[in-house]
């Protein structure tokens, strides 16, 4: 086994774990938002379920779906970034720039993108 292919499985496993953590954060946020902003809370729930599906894809080794998981990770990162600068979809105003959820999610998004890229590039 060469060095490149030996990082594929660990990157898939760590990415899967991080996607589950990401989903947990967003389930918590969705629950908190459900009463005030039902549509946003429901979006967070659906997004969390997609993250869990992505984790299952990586754990199961469904290589044909690695690229969609990577695209999903980029979309989440870009949506998080965009909603801090421009008016957030649905709400019509930029969201608060800094809080513990935003910082944690930015870090998770970047690490997930890097590891998902590694998993995709090293898949056979």
Q: What pLDDT sits at residue 2?
A: 52
Mean pLDDT of 37-50: 91
Model confidence pLDDT, tens digit, residues 64-121: 999 999 999 999 999 888 887 787 776 777 776 678 878 888 999 999 999 999 999 9
Q: Are 75 and 83 within 8 A, CB to CB?
A: no
106 HSE (CA, 13 A, CB side): 11
The predicted model scores a pTM of 0.86
> Would the pLDDT of 36 be above 60?
yes
> Would the pLDDT of 3 be above 60?
no
Diameter of the chain measured on Cα atoms? 53
Q: Where are the domains of the chain?
A: 3-122
| Long-range contacts of residues 81-90, Cβ cutoff 8 Å, at least 24 apart | 90/37, 90/39, 90/40, 90/43
Q: What pLDDT sits at residue 112?
A: 97
């Amino acid at each position: 086994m060469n060095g490149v292919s030996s990082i594929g499985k660990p990157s898939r496993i760590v990415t899967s774990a991080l996607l589950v953590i990401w989903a947990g954060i967003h389930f918590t946020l969705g629950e908190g938002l459900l009463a005030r902003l039902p549509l946003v809370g429901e979006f967070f729930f659906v997004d969390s379920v997609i993250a869990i599906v992505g984790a299952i894809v990586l754990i199961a080794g469904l290589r044909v779906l690695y690229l969609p998981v990577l695209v999903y990770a980029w979309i989440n990162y870009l949506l998080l970034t965009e909603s801090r600068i421009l008016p957030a979809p649905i709400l019509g105003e930029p969201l608060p720039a800094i809080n513990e959820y935003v910082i944690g999610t930015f870090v998770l998004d970047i690490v997930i993108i890097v590891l998902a890229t590694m998993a995709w590039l090293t898949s056979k």
